[in-house]
Amino acid sequence: MMRTAPCALLMMFLGCSSTSAADTDTDTDASTSTGSEESSTAADSSSTGTPLVCEAETMIPAGAAIDANGTIDPLEWAGATVVAIPVQATEVNVILSHDGANLNVGFQPLAEGGLIMFPELYIDPMNDKSVMFGADDWWFHTDDQECGAQGMLDAWPGCVDDNPDWDSTPGLVGPANAVEYSIPFALLGIDLSTSCEIGLALRVTNTQTVAEIWPAESDRNEPVTWATVALDTSL
């Protein structure tokens, strides 16, 4: 099996601003920031003229639209932020960007050393950080089908081969060893003209024995523990 140094590979074409889960789980090691962790965005709200200022440790930059075909094309992901989820002896890189209308997330590699991981997203659209998974919060999971629900985790009966409301890369992990998501902000209930912070957690799991989450030590059942991320509103 081909084995690569994933972040080094990504660095070649993304300028990989990798931040490990260990680096981002607390505020205390901000001094080791690569620069990408400490970010803020500001934009004028066209309707009110009130500056929209969002600050977060992790920023999701604005970029190109992507084709969620499982191939991490450097052109579609140029400038994206990358975070890493350590998994056993390796790590899964998660690539984050948006195109003004969709939140775009790529996971790679997902199959390493005989372990096949499936990607999951947890999104708190208003970043209201409830203690329990709330009615507004989203769960997404892709394996050979697309699974997702608002207000409920592990809503397996709703899994379908191709959900028309959002895009990902269902199916067995192919040679590209990646899954990409493109999820409309309109579906999530995110309006970039009035809001630029969301709560986010990222997880990979084989659904049986292995599950690792970013930020490290966050709990998928507790949005209050998820990362606050800023959405670049410069588009």
Confirm or reject binding of residue 207 to Ca ion (CB under 5 A).
no
C-beta of 86 vs 134, nearer to Ca ion = 134
Stretch binding Ca ion (CB under 5 A), from 25-33, 65-73, 84-92, 139-147: 65-73
**Residue of the chain from 111, 134, 149, 211 that contacts Ca ion (CB under 5 A):** 134
Q: How many residues bind Ca ion (CB under 5 A)?
A: 10
To the nearest whole angstrom, how small is the minimum distance from the Cβ of residue 148 to Ca ion?
A: 16
| Structure tokens, 123 | 């999104």
Residues in contact with Ca ion, shown as a per-residue x/- string from 143 to 182 under the rule CB under 5 A: -------------------------------------x--
Distance CA 14, CA 200 (A): 21
Stretch binding Ca ion (CB under 5 A), from 22-30, 55-63, 82-90, 119-127: 119-127
Confirm or reject binding of residue 197 to Ca ion (CB under 5 A).
no
Stretch binding Ca ion (CB under 5 A), from 96-104, 108-116, 124-132, 142-150: 124-132
**Residue of the chain from 38, 67, 144, 191 that contacts Ca ion (CB under 5 A):** 67
To the nearest whole angstrom, how small is the minimum distance from the Cβ of residue 232 to Ca ion?
A: 20
3-state secondary structure labels for all residues of the chain: CCCCCHHHHHHHHHCCCCEEHHHHCCCCCHHHCCCCCCEEEEEECCCCCCEEEEEECEEECECCCCCCCCCCCCCCCCCCEEEEEEECCEEEEEEEEECCCEEEEEEECCEECCEECEEEEEEECCCCCCCCCCCCCEEEEECCCEEEEECCCCCHHHCECCCCCCECCCCCCCCCCCEEEEEEHHHHCCCCCCCCEEEEEEEEECCCCCEEEECCCCCCCCHHHCEEEEECCCC
* Cα–Cα nearest to 217, from 26, 11, 15: 26
Stretch binding Ca ion (CB under 5 A), from 21-29, 61-69, 184-192, 211-219: 61-69
**Residue of the chain from 29, 38, 44, 128 that contacts Ca ion (CB under 5 A):** 128
Stretch binding Ca ion (CB under 5 A), from 67-75, 79-87, 91-99, 190-198: 67-75
Residues at the contact surface with Ca ion, assessed by CB under 5 A: 67, 69, 71, 73, 124, 128, 134, 136-137, 180
